[in-house]
């Protein structure tokens, strides 16, 4: 059974100021997402499910989805503030949806096979999709048999400033903990440091695995997510900034023993436009990948 790729793109319109500004960074105006879709197709994924918002559906179908026609099956699901379980009402003052794991939940009606989750605006690299596809096609005998791709933090830094990453600890190849660390950057010596919860500077080995939101799940993950989302809302429905994040659920399932998460390594180098200063570097990197033959002249004819 071919796996599905679930692309989290509901924040796209707000982040880019409208899809018309969806940045064409490749030599022929390709977006970062185009490379992910191309890599997913050649790695063996059988379907793409996009999580978007209703307010840019028509433009998304016209400008984004049309280029994938004839290449792979595509579905669209919607994440909105009021996409909540029965019995809950979104506060009128809330301005944004409920986070990355809320976005995953929106895929429940469209995904019936093992699936990978990615961000729409991150470049992950071909090897990353190959590794994930092979793992998701493996036969499973139990629930909660999940995986993630762990990038080396040194391969995920921005030259434009500090970044936030899910820093992982592992044991016997399995995820032990994942902790969101903000303000990861370089010091004057070129070492990678971050601010801990007490505001102290801590060093990170460049080979430390971090999550770039590339997860591999089976459909039972939706059931766990639905159950925990109800509990989350009972505690946070009136907190206008509360978000239901993927690491929150993953940590809980690991701690309870209900799930294991295999951490797979990749030598791929992540990149994205975190800061305006990153844009020229990303353009140059994509041009180089085309020049060396990693990608054809045009991704989708």
State the DSSP string of 35-80. Answer: HHHHHHHHHT--EEEEEE-GGGHHHHHHHTGGGGTTTSEEEEEE--
> What tokens does 40 get?
């997913």
> What tokens does 177 get?
């903990």
Q: Is the pLDDT of residue 137 over 70?
A: yes
Q: Is the pLDDT of residue 19 over 80?
A: no
Residue 224's pLDDT is what?
Answer: 96
Give how far Cα 284 sits from Cα of 25, 153, 156, 271, Å.
9, 21, 16, 11
For residue 131, give the 3-state DSSP assignment.
Answer: helix
Cα–Cα nearest to 226, from 16, 51, 94, 83: 83
Mean pLDDT of 164-192: 91
Cα–Cα nearest to 209, from 252, 163, 234, 178: 178
> What tokens does 27 get?
């030599």
Q: What is the mean pLDDT of the chain?
A: 91
Out of 8-12, 141-145, 223-227, which region has the weakest mean confidence (pLDDT)?
Answer: 8-12
For the chain, the domains span 4-145+210-291
Q: Is the pLDDT of residue 107 over 90?
A: yes
Q: Is 161 left (phi over 0), alpha (psi -120 to 50) or beta?
A: left
Cα–Cα nearest to 12, from 46, 47, 63: 63
CA 72 to CA 193: how far, in whole Å?
A: 41
Residue 116's pLDDT is what?
Answer: 98
Q: Is the pLDDT of residue 16 over 90?
A: no
CA 249 to CA 255: how far, in whole Å?
A: 10
Confidence of residue 15 (pLDDT cuts 50, 70, 90): low
Q: Is the pLDDT of residue 21 over 70?
A: no
Topology (CATH) of 4-145+210-291: Spore Coat Polysaccharide Biosynthesis Protein SpsA; Chain A (3.90.550)
Cα–Cα nearest to 249, from 232, 274, 266: 232
Residue 22's pLDDT is what?
Answer: 74
Q: Is the pLDDT of residue 20 over 70?
A: no
Residue 14's pLDDT is what?
Answer: 61
Q: Is the pLDDT of residue 27 over 80?
A: yes
Cα–Cα nearest to 226, from 106, 115, 79: 106
% of residues, the chain, pLDDT over 70: 97
CA 151 to CA 155: how far, in whole Å?
A: 7
Counting Cβ atoms within 10 Å, is residue 71 exposed (0-12), middle (13-18) or buried (19+)?
A: middle
Instruction: Name the pTM for this structure.
Output: 0.92
Q: Is the pLDDT of residue 23 over 90?
A: no
Q: Is the pLDDT of residue 17 over 70?
A: no
> What tokens does 35 get?
């490379």
Q: What is the pLDDT of residues 223-280, one digit of tens each?
A: 999 999 999 999 999 999 889 999 889 999 999 999 999 999 888 888 888 778 888 9
């Amino acid at each position: 059974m071919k796996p599905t790729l679930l692309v989290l793109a509901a924040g796209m319109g707000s982040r880019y100021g409208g899809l018309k500004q969806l940045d064409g960074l490749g030599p022929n105006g390709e977006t970062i997402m185009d490379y992910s879709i191309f890599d997913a197709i050649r790695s063996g994924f059988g379907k793409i499910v996009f999580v978007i918002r209703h307010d840019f559906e028509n433009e998304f179908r016209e400008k984004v989805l049309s280029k994938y026609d004839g290449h792979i099956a595509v579905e669209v699901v919607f994440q909105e503030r009021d996409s909540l379980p029965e019995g809950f009402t979104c506060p009128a003052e809330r301005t944004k949806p409920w986070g990355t794991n809320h976005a995953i939940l929106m895929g429940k009606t469209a995904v019936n096979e093992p699936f990978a989750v990615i961000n729409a605006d991150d470049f992950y690299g071909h090897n990353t999709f190959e590794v994930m596809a092979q793992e998701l096609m493996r036969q499973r005998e139990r629930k909660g048999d999940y995986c993630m791709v762990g990038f080396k933090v040194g391969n995920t830094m921005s030259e434009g400033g500090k970044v936030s990453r899910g820093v992982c600890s592992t044991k016997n190849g399995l995820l032990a903990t994942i902790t969101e660390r903000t303000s990861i950057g370089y010091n004057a010596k070129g070492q990678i440091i971050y601010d801990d919860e007490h505001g102290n500077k801590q060093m990170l080995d460049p080979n430390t695995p971090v999550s770039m939101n590339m997860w591999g799940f089976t459909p039972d993950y939706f059931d766990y997510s639905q159950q925990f989302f109800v509990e989350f809302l009972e505690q946070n429905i009136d907190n206008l900034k509360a978000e239901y994040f993927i690491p929150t659920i993953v940590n809980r399932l690991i701690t309870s023993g209900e799930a294991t998460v295999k951490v797979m390594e990749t030598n791929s180098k992540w990149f994205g436009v975190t800061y305006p200063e990153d844009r020229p570097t990303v353009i140059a990197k994509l041009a180089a990948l085309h020049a060396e033959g990693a990608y054809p002249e045009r991704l989708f004819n």
